Amino acid sequence: MKIFSQQQLPDIDAATIQEQNIKSIDLMERAAQYVSLYLSSLSYSRYVIFAGPGNNGGDALAVARLLAAKEGNNITAYLFNIGKGLSSNCEANRNRLAECPNVSFTEITEKFEPPQLSEDAVIVDGLFGTGLNKPLNGGFGALVQFFNASPAHIVSIDMPSGLMCENNAQNVRNHIVRANTTITLGAPKIAQLMADNHEFVGKLIVADIGLSDGKSKGLDSNYEFTDKEDIKNIIRERDSFGHKGSFGHSLLIASTYGMAGAAILATRACLRSGVGKVTVRTPHRNNNILQIAIPEAVLNLDSHEKHFSSPINTDDYNALAIGPGLGTSHDTAVAFIEQVRRTRIPLVIDADGLNILADHKGWIQQIPSDTILTPHFREMQRIGSHCTDSYSALTEAQEMAVKHSFFIILKGHFTAICTPEGKTFFNSTGNSGMATAGSGDVLTGIICALLAQKYTQTEACRLGVYIHGLAGDIAANKLGETSLIASDIIEAIPEAFLQLSAKDAEKAPSPDFLILK
Task: Round the average pLDDT of the chain to a whole number and report it.
Answer: 95
**For residues 201 and 163, is the Cβ–Cβ distance under 8 A?**
yes
How wide is the angle at C-alpha 493 spanned by C-alphas 287 and 350, nearest 5°?
55
Query: Has 36 been labeled as part of a binding site?
Result: no
Q: Is 222 among the domain residues?
A: no
pLDDT of 509 = 53
- Spatial distance between the Cα atoms of 430 and 473, rounded to a whole number of angstroms: 6
Query: Closest Cα partner for 297 from 269, 332, 318?
Result: 269
Phi-psi region of 85 (alpha: psi -120 to 50; beta: other; left: phi over 0): left
Question: Any known ligand binding at 228?
Answer: no
Q: CA-to-CA distance for 65 and 29, rounded, in angstroms?
A: 10
- Dihedral (CA of 385, 354, 356, 488) sign: positive
Establish whether 129 is an annotated binding residue.
Answer: yes
State pLDDT tens for residues 400-454: 999 999 999 999 999 999 999 999 999 999 999 999 999 999 999 999 999 999 9
Q: Which residues, other chains included, contact 71 with Cβ-Cβ below 8 Å and sequence gap of 6+?
A: none
| Res 386: pLDDT | 87
Q: Is 513 annotated to bind ligand?
A: no
- Please report, to the nearest 10 degrees, the dihedral formed by the alpha carbons of residues 10, 16, 19, 20 taken in order: -140
| Residue 212, annotated as binding a ligand | no
Tell me the pLDDT tens digit for each residue of 358-398. 999 999 999 999 999 999 999 999 999 889 999 999 999 99
Residue 513 reports pLDDT greater than 80: no
Indicate the residue among 169, 184, 214 that finishes a domain: 214
Residue closest to 496 by CA, chosen among 472, 460, 462? 472
Phi, psi of 307 (to 5 degrees): -150, 165
Note whether residue 64 is domain-resident: yes
Range of the domain at 96: 2-214
Could you give the residue ranges of the DSSP H alpha helices within 343-456?
352-359, 377-383, 390-404, 439-452
CA atoms within 13 A on the CB side of 18: 12
pLDDT in tens, 11-64: 999 999 999 999 999 999 999 999 999 999 998 999 999 999 999 999 999 999
Q: What is the pLDDT averaged over residues 84-112?
A: 94
Residues 81 and 111 in one domain: yes
223 found inside a domain: no
CATH number at residue 39: 3.40.50.10260
Give pLDDT tens digits for 304-319. Answer: 999 999 999 999 999 9
Q: Are 188 and 159 in contact (CB under 8 A)?
A: no
218 among the known binding-site residues?
no
Strand partners, 53: none
- Give the CB-side neighbour count of residue 328, counting CA atoms within 13 A: 11
- What pLDDT, in 10s, does the model give residues 73-84? 999 999 999 988
Q: Residue 238 maps to which CATH number?
A: 3.40.1190.20
Cα distance between residue 333 and residue 352, in whole Å: 9
Q: Taking the C-alpha atoms of 182, 185, 191 and 196 in order, what is their torsion angle to the nearest 10 degrees?
A: 20
201 and 259 housed in the same domain: no
Percent of the chain with pLDDT over 70: 97
Is 403 annotated as a binding-site member? no
Residues 288 and 365 in one domain: yes
Regarding whether 84 and 23 lie in a shared domain, the answer is yes
| pLDDT for the residue 298 | 98
Q: Are residues 332 and 359 in the same domain?
A: yes
Residues 95 and 240 in one domain: no
- Residue 77, SS3 per DSSP: strand
If asked whether residues 199 and 245 sit together in one domain, one would say no
Q: Is 161 annotated as a binding residue?
A: yes
> Is 384 annotated to bind ligand?
no
Last residue of a domain, one of 179, 214, 249: 214
What b/e readout covers 65-85, taking b as 16+ CB neighbours within 10 angstroms?
bbbbeeeebbbbbbbbbbeee
Q: Is 454 annotated as a binding residue?
A: no
Last residue of a domain, one of 162, 188, 214: 214
Confirm or deny that 440 is annotated as ligand binding. Answer: yes
122 with 151: CB under 8 angstroms?
no
Q: Which of 103-107, 344-348, 475-479, 498-502 shows the lowest per-residue confidence on average (mean pLDDT)? A: 498-502
Q: Tell me 208's DSSP state.
A: -
Flag whether pLDDT at 273 surpasses 80.
Answer: yes
Note whether residue 514 is domain-resident: no
Residues 242, 155: one domain?
no
Would you say 191 is a known binding-site residue?
Answer: no
Pair 352, 495 in one domain: yes
512: in domain? no
| 132 known ligand binder | yes
Q: Is residue 250 part of a domain?
A: yes
The answer to whether residues 46 and 74 touch, using CB atoms and an 8 Å cutoff, is yes
Gap between the Cα atoms of 70 and 44, Å rounded = 12
Count of structural domains, the chain: 2
Q: What is the DSSP string of 410-439?
A: EBSTT-EEE-TTS-EEE-----GGG-STTH
Question: Residue 205: inside a domain, yes or no?
Answer: yes
pLDDT in tens, 388-399: 999 999 999 999
Check: CB of residue 322 under 8 Å from CB of residue 339. Answer: yes
Find out whether 139 is annotated in a ligand binding site.
Answer: no
Residue 57 assigned as binding residue: yes
* 55 appears as a binding residue in the annotation: yes
| Element at 184 (helix H, strand E) | strand 181-185
- Do 397 and 419 form a contact (C-beta atoms < 8 A)? no
For residues 126-153, give the mean pLDDT.
Answer: 96
CB count, 10 Å around CB of 217? 16
pLDDT tens figures, 187-233: 999 999 999 999 999 999 999 999 998 776 788 899 999 999 999 99
pTM (two decimals) = 0.94
Check whether residue 288 and residue 150 sit in a common domain: no
Question: Is residue 184 annotated as involved in ligand binding?
Answer: no
267 annotated ligand binder:
no
**Span 465-509, pLDDT tens digits:** 999 999 999 999 999 999 999 999 999 999 999 999 876 444 445
Question: Using CA atoms, how far apart are residues 177 and 158, in angstroms rounded to an integer?
Answer: 12
Asked if residue 445 lies in contact with residue 273, where contact means CB atoms within 8 angstroms, the answer is yes
- Spatial strand order of the sheet with 46-51 comes to 103-108, 74-80, 46-51, 121-126, 153-157, 181-185, 203-207, 513-515
Structural contact between residues 212 and 16, judged by C-beta atoms closer than 8 angstroms: yes
256 and 208 in one domain?
A: no
Q: Which residues contact 136 (CB under 8 A, 6 or more apart)?
A: 128, 144, 161, 162, 172, 175, 176
Residue 2 parent element (H or E): strand 2-3
User: Is 225 a member of any domain?
Assistant: no
Do 174 and 241 have their domain in common? no
Is 135 part of any known ligand binding site? yes
